[in-house]
Structure 1
Amino acid sequence: MAEVREYSPGTPCWAELATPDLEASRAFYSELFGWAAYTISTDRFGDYEILALGDIQGPMVGGITELADESERPSWTCYFAVDDVDATVEAARSAGGQVYMEGTDMGDTGRTAMLAGPEGAEFSLWQAYEMAGAEAAGVPGTMCWVELACRDTEKALRFYNKIFGWEPVTRIYDHTAYTDWHLRGRPVCGMIHMGDRWPAHYPAHWIPHFAVADCDASAAKATALGAHIQLPPRDTDRGRFAMLTDPGGARLAILTPKE
């Protein structure tokens, strides 16, 4: 397991689940990924649940919150590290993005903001103070990739290049255009074009991928635990992956990475 102490600006650093049922989500992800959950409390923002790998003494791998009301949809939010939240918010606004939450300090841990790209795919920023983000990588149960699914990929390319400096490397895979976004010469995340095979009602969205030792076995286990498999396990050039919605309705993917 690789211990992670810092994240370069423009790289994914955290994932947070918003769920209608905290207890049910804790049980599902404990069984699927071996996560434990514990609560931290702050005077200003109240309680926040941390997801840790293995047990509550293990490395932090994500967070979990309860939906504020029934108008919100269950979802995983991907966070990206930045040096300056407020400057990135302004860059996103000028590039045609939407600002859902301005830069806000989260106590001594860091500063965050919530944005959406041109088609409404939500994501968050993280400027680290005392907490860099997820503390582990490279083992099952950790986030190993994040991906944007959208229809207007040209607009997305311009938007994310302006705010994060990502450079696209696009190819055709399985008859679908797929883009690896590179930062300083290495891939940091991806984008898939939502073509005719996607349901018309599906909105653009970011989706986290979590590493598993055996994609097929994990997909079967997730189904037994109440998840819905949207794309069954299949081989890609990144590894074997499947896409699913958890019992609460949040989208995620599981991936057995290639060596």
Structure 2
Amino acid sequence: MPEVTAPYAPGTPCWIDLMASDQQAALDFYRDLFGWQGEVGPPEFGGYAVCALNGKPVAGIMAQTAPEGQPLPPVGWTTYLASDDADATARSVAESGGTILYPVMDVGTVGRMLVAADPTGGVFGVWQKVDFIGAGVVNEPGALVWNELNTTDTDAAGAFYQRALGLSPAALESVEGYYSLSVGDRSVGGMQRLPDYLPPGTPPHWLTYFSVDDTDSTVDALVRGGGSVLQPPFDMAAGRMAVVQDPQGAVFAVIASPTAP
């Protein structure tokens, strides 16, 4: 199992969490789909649940909440990018044309975080570790394997992430219209224009990919569990993938491949 024990390099996707309308139902769904173990957390952390795969933290699930007088945030997965200094990153995000949605806050003794939107509207989080580095296992069936920005303007988004978070975009010759996002010489994510298969009006967003042993059987299990399919299983450069929704509408992708994308 590819366990992660060292801190993630700044700019690298390091954690994901789900905002759910029904937290317990989401915990049950992903337990059945991926084998995660998790339970509603303590009240002082808003009930936030850290889900584990074979004893290692793999993702968070929380109930929708909003400050008084504000609308509830949408159901969905959020990608968090690592930072050594959340305050400095917040300043860089703002100076680079991004919007701070939730300012830097302390999360107990585990870390510091913020949530922001890039200039095209793609929402992401930033995580500065203290006691918690983020995902403790990746690139294994049931775990995070890839994070991908789907946007309306790849040039503007690429320039923003490079300036604000040090993610360098580069066009892939093998896949037309697709860009890698790299930290140093390591590709840590991807970027493309919003695909046509998404419903009209879908905003820019970071798409979370989970590794699976068998894409088709996973999609069948998802449908039996109340989920739906946006893009049926298909073969592509990195393996066989599908884009799906959980029963509450959160979009994610599953992929079976010999190696991580």
Q: TM-score, normalised by structure 1?
A: 0.93
| Alignment-derived partner of residue 48 in structure 2 | 48
Letter in structure 1 aligned against 2:117? A
Question: Which consecutive unaligned segments of at least 5 residues does structure 1 have?
Answer: none
Q: Distance in 1 between matches of 2:101 and 2:15?
A: 18
SS in 2 for 1:188: strand
**Structure 1 residue 42, shift from structure 2 partner:** 6.2
Letter in structure 2 aligned against 1:31? D
**Cα contact 1:50–1:64 (8 A) shared by 2:** yes
Please list, as runs of the form range in 1=range in 2, the aligned pairs for 1:27-66 lying within 5 A after superposition.
27-41=28-42, 43=44, 45-54=45-54, 58-66=55-63
Letter in structure 1 aligned against 2:207? I
Structure 1 pair 17/168, CA: closer, same or farther in 2 (3 Å)?
Answer: same
Q: Distance in 2 between matches of 1:220 and 1:47?
A: 31
| Alignment-derived partner of residue 89 in structure 2 | 88
Q: Distance in 2 between matches of 1:218 and 1:194?
A: 24
| Alignment-derived partner of residue 26 in structure 1 | 27
Question: Which consecutive unaligned segments of at least 5 residues does structure 2 have?
Answer: none
Please list, as runs of the form range in 1=range in 2, the aligned pairs for 1:1-259 lying within 5 A after superposition.
1-5=1-5, 6-41=7-42, 43=44, 45-54=45-54, 58-68=55-65, 71-171=72-172, 176-194=176-194, 198-259=198-259
Q: Distance in 2 between matches of 1:137 and 1:195?
A: 25
**Cα contact 2:141–2:212 (8 A) shared by 1:** yes
Q: Distance in 1 between matches of 2:195 and 2:242?
A: 18
SS in 1 for 2:146: strand
Range 61-70 or range 212-221, more displaced: 61-70
Range 111-120 or range 232-241, more displaced: 232-241
Range 77-86 or range 199-208, more displaced: 199-208
Letter in structure 1 aligned against 2:150? A
Q: Distance in 2 between matches of 1:49 and 1:195?
A: 31
**Cα contact 1:60–1:136 (8 A) shared by 2:** yes
**Structure 1 residue 186, shift from structure 2 partner:** 1.5
The percentage of aligned residue pairs carrying the same residue is 35
**Cα contact 1:114–1:125 (8 A) shared by 2:** yes
Deviation by residue 1:168-200 (Cα, 9 ceiling, x = unmatched): 2213667x5111112211110001112655543
Query: Number of aligned pairs?
Result: 254
Q: Distance in 2 between matches of 1:200 and 1:64?
A: 27
Q: TM-score, normalised by structure 2?
A: 0.92
**Structure 1 residue 40, shift from structure 2 partner:** 3.5
**Cα contact 2:39–2:50 (8 A) shared by 1:** yes
Considering fraction of residues, name the structure with more strand: 1
Q: Distance in 2 between matches of 1:237 and 1:169?
A: 17
Deviation by residue 1:79-101 (Cα, 9 ceiling, x = unmatched): 11111101111111011101011
Letter in structure 2 aligned against 1:50? V
**Structure 1 residue 119, shift from structure 2 partner:** 1.6
